[in-house]
Amino acid sequence: MPERLKHHFEPKKGWMNDPNGLCYYKGEYHAFFQHNPFAPHWDRMHWGHASGRGLLELAERQIALYPDMPYENDGGCFSGSAIEADGRLWLFYTSVSKELGQTQSVAYSSDGYSFEKYGHNPVIRENPDGGADFRDPKVGRCGGFYYMVCGSGKDGVGKVLLFRSHDLLNWEYGGVLFEDASCGPVLECPDLFPLDGRWVLMFSMMGRERRSTQFVVGDFDGERFTERSRCTPEEGPHFYAPQTFEAPDGRRILFGWLYSWSKKLDEGADYAGALTIPRELYIKGDTVRMRPAREAEPLLADSDPCVSVDGSVVSLSYGASFDFGEPVGGLRILRDTKTIEIFADNGRSATYWFGSGK
């Protein structure tokens, strides 16, 4: 059995991919995640659950969502998000069935651990734009209403769809918020959030080994998103499907999936996948940048024997290299038992898993 990560969350057994439902609720941080508890590969999806008093103190809890309803009888419970309202924690997720395909459903809890699924799920029963891909609802607040963004695509054009609600149960379609064929046929795990006086639309682009997460900076008036700039600050191949939430002190915190679909299972492991170290997002100029959350500061080093720098290029002794686009200085490095995350002072980063199954 390979050595476990010391500073990152990974499941005790089985497969994990996308972080879901990141939030702070009743004095604890919660991170749900896509999970197959039975084997270290993707299958019918559950929502795993980890929680803790601190960002680096997440411990695995009981499974939050099982695929036990007719509208989840195919792929199960796909990715989604969480929001607190009226004292409850609400989980929004994509339910997948043979009859309806990909639909959006909701469950809620008064303690953050035991969840009840809404009796009239799915709350959104079809893709109003057409097409089979319709998933990953991320819910937030804007003014006096709630908004939801979902990833989609049609005729080879990736899209983000907008919905609005006043009660979290009845949703009105607001149209296509963003679309771009150059970003791929489906835009996965979208997230729309305010940051430093702007709005940021974030999504993951399928089939890209590196720079797979797009950040689009712009303005949002509750109905339309107006783009100002784009960036891909994360360079690494083992980073995908990130999600953000607002910490109690107002910081915008991000966790990503530390693994990849093409990575081979580490020898002897009966588990796969992890969460990145938490990161804080900020705006620099017109672009989004990332740095390790301050809670991770004691774990960081200024150098590492496996890391070398030549101008804008950071190279690893494991055979990988990353071009950070600008001369690299002020490196901060977090090396765990089989992973490494490298942060440069220009707000760029690279994530790499160097375990036995590269």
First-to-last C-alpha distance (Å) of the chain: 16
Q: For 43-133, list the strands marked E by DSSP.
A: 46-52, 59-60, 76-85, 88-97, 101-109, 116-117
What is the model's pLDDT at position 57?
97
- Given a cut of 90, whether residue 1 has pLDDT beyond it is no
Quote the tokens at residue 18: 């996308």
Residue showing tokens 């007719």: 70
- Give residue-wise pLDDT tens across range 196-241: 999 999 999 999 999 999 999 999 999 999 999 999 999 999 999 9
Q: How far apart are CA 64 and CA 262, in angstroms?
A: 27
The reply to whether 302 belongs to the active site is: no
Average pLDDT of span 179-208: 98
What is the model's pLDDT at position 355?
85
- Give residue-wise pLDDT tens across range 296-335: 999 999 999 999 999 999 999 999 999 998 899 899 999 9
CA 179 to mean position of chain CA atoms: 20
- Give residue-wise pLDDT tens across range 264-297: 998 899 999 999 999 999 999 999 999 999 999 9
Q: How far apart are CA 263 and CA 245, in angstroms?
A: 27
Quote the tokens at residue 43: 């299958």
What is the model's pLDDT at position 358?
59
Q: How far apart are CA 214 and CA 227, in angstroms?
A: 12
Strand 313-316 and strand 225-231: the pairing is unpaired
- Give residue-wise pLDDT tens across range 136-150: 999 999 999 999 999
DSSP notation for 253-307: EEEEE-S-TTPPPPTT-SEE--BPPPEEEEEETTEEEEEE-GGGGGG-BS--TTE
- Alpha carbon of 260 to those of 199, 212, 247: distances in Å? 28, 11, 27
- Given a cut of 80, whether residue 356 has pLDDT beyond it is no
What is the model's pLDDT at position 329?
85
- Give residue-wise pLDDT tens across range 240-267: 999 999 999 999 999 999 999 999 998 8
Q: How far apart are CA 116 and CA 91, in angstroms?
A: 10
- Among 18, 133, 191, 266, the active-site one is 18
What is the model's pLDDT at position 357?
61
Q: How far apart are CA 223 and CA 139, in angstroms?
A: 14
The counts of H helices and E strands in the chain are 0, 27
Residue showing tokens 């990953």: 136
